Amino acid sequence: MKNIIIGQYIPGKGLFYRLDPRTKIVSVLFIMIAVFLLQTIEQLLIALGVAIIMLLIGRISIIKVLKGLKPILVLLIFTFIFQIMLNREGVMIVNQEMQLTIFTALFLLLALIIWRILSRYIRYRFLLFLAFVASIFLILVYVDFGYPLVNSFSFKIYEQGLRMSAFVVVRLLIIITLSTVLTLTTKPTDLTQGLEKLMHPLKKIGFDSESFALIISISLRYIPTIFDEANKIMLAQASRGADFSEGKLKDKLKQVISLLVPMFIIAFMRSEELANAMESRNFVPGEKRTRIYELVFSYRDVLATTISVLILAGAIVLKVI
């Protein structure tokens, strides 16, 4: 469970690492709002270009960002395909006859087998998957001999459908890139402290941002521990015959309880011990504390904030006209 890339800080150097977390949070927020204000695919593509230039300036490996996209890749592809299939407005740009014959079926099966076998040995499984999808299309279009299984059908793409799907996907892409840049270049501790400082004014309405930040940072610290523990509990119960993949619903319920109860009880014991450890080191909730991390605002931060404000302003202007 340690290899979740999304939301993962990777140590490095470069412009974004040197920015104050407050600047990064605020700037990313501004630019995200700006992206949501954009209305045409052209504007969005320019924004994507800007995002990529940002990555290059910050010397952030694009491959790492792409890896961050992995968990939502399926979502992106589905959004894309659904938008294309369902939106039938505007000029029709593709109208391709397709047929499913006995031979097409055979070829499809062959393609499937080749894909399954290759995917065991090839590292870039996603590229292989794309190749597989492309080959399905090619087979459906060009293999037109043999006994037809269903009537030939046509695959249509409309201009508006293409635009809309590209629009949605590019927007998602930008948003995710932005947030990945934020989490990739900001230590969780800095992130929480940035949030804490940004929310400090809320103290007036009774929101204790310091305790909030401490809670977040302790949660962050214990996430790997808890995952590790959950895994061990699962193995311990599996050793007692709890089969989490099969079994009737009633059995399943019991098995889930057999996982949750130990997890809660251990968490409860831990929180008590942790509270003792913190108290013995003179932690008093709500009291003034100094901090080892100090946020320093430099000219870079002024520059970055200004740029993000300008981008937001630009997007607002575009929206208004």
Partner 1 sequence: MGIRFNQVSYDYSSFAQGLYTAIKDINLEITEKNEFIALVGHTGSGKSTLAKHMNALIFPTSGSLEIFGNIITSKRSKKIKYNSIRKKVGLVFQFPEYQLFEETVEKDIMFGPMNFKITRDEAKILAKEALNLVGLDDTYLTRNPYNLSGGEKKRVSIAGILAMDPDILVLDEPTSGLDPAGKRVLMNLFKDINEKTGKTIVIITHDMDLVYQYFNRVLVMNDSKLIYDGLPEQLFKEKDLYINHLDYPNTIKVLTYLNQKLNLNLNVYQKTNADALLEIKRAAKL
Partner 2 sequence: MSYIEVKELSYSYNNKTNVLEDISINIEKGEWIAILGHNGSGKSTLAKALVGLLEPATGEIFIDGTLLNEDSAFEVRKKIGIVFQNPDNQFVGVTVRDDIAFGMENLCVPREEMLEKIKFFAKKVNMLDSLDKEPANLSGGQKQRVAIAGILAMQSDIIIFDEATSMLDPFSREELVKYIKTLHKDGLTIIMITHEINEALLADRILVMNKGKVYAFEETEVIMKKKEVFTDNHLELPVALDLANSLEENESHKEIRDKLWEYALIK
Binding site for partner 2 (CB under 8 A): 2, 11, 187-189, 217-218, 220-221, 224-225, 228, 269-270, 273-274, 276-284, 287-292, 294
| Residue 89 · residue 215 · CB < 8 Å | no
Question: Which one of 56, 85, 134, 261 is in contact with partner 1 (CB under 8 A)?
Answer: 261
Of the candidate residues 15, 220, 238, 307, the single one contacting partner 1 (CB under 8 A): 238
Q: Can you tell me which of 88, 200, 232, 319 binds partner 1, judged by CB under 8 A?
A: 232
Side-chain half-sphere exposure of 49, counting CA atoms within 13 A: 6
* Residue 64 or 300 with smaller CB distance to partner 1: 64
Indicate the residue among 9 and 155 with the shorter CB distance to partner 1. 9
* 236 touches, from partner 2, partner 1, none (C-beta below 5 to 8 Å by class): partner 1
Could you tell me which of 83, 317, 76 has the C-alpha nearest to residue 175?
Answer: 76
157 vs 266, beta carbon nearer partner 2:
266
Q: Which is nearer to partner 2, 148 or 188 (CB)?
A: 188
Closest distance to partner 2 from the beta carbon of 285 (Å): 11
- The site partner of 8 among partner 1, partner 2, none (C-beta below 5 to 8 Å per kind) is partner 1
Question: Residue 274's binding partner, choosing from partner 2, partner 1, none, with beta-carbon cut-off 5 to 8 A by kind?
Answer: partner 2
Residue 250 touching partner 1 (CB under 8 A): no
Task: Determine, following the binding rule CB under 8 A, whether residue 3 of this chain makes contact with partner 1.
Answer: yes
Residue 50 makes contact with partner 1 by CB under 8 A = no
d(CA 91, CA 141): 22
Query: Site residues (CB under 8 A) for partner 1?
Result: 2-4, 8, 229, 232-233, 235-243, 251, 254, 257-258, 261-262, 265-266, 269
